[in-house]
């Protein structure tokens, strides 16, 4: 999925997510699923790019996050 990131997330919020992820605050969730839930992405009308993210884990989830979101 190569495209310009259209969705933005604040760096501080992303850092907080990573802190919680590294503290195992999302038991039994994949990285993409935890990211999706943490940022309440279900509220976005267009879910086209988010389906793969929700289902992804590890490096694939990280790649999808950086491909879909601009972290500023």
**Domain boundaries in the chain?**
7-71
- Output the pTM of the full model: 0.90
Tell me the C-alpha distance between 35 and 39, whole Å.
Answer: 6
User: Residue 4: its pLDDT value, please?
Assistant: 54
To the nearest 5 percent, what fractions of the chain are helix, strand and coil? Answer: 55, 10, 35
pLDDT at 36 over 60: yes
Of all residues in the chain, what percent carry a pLDDT higher than 90?
83
């Amino acid at each position: 999925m190569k495209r310009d990131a259209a969705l933005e997330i604040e760096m501080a919020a992303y850092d907080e997510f990573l802190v919680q992820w590294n503290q195992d605050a999302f038991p039994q969730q994949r990285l993409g699923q935890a990211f999706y839930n943490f940022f309440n992405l279900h509220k976005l009308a267009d879910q086209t790019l988010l389906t793969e993210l929700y289902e992804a884990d590890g490096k694939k989830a990280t790649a999808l996050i950086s491909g879909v979101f601009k972290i500023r």
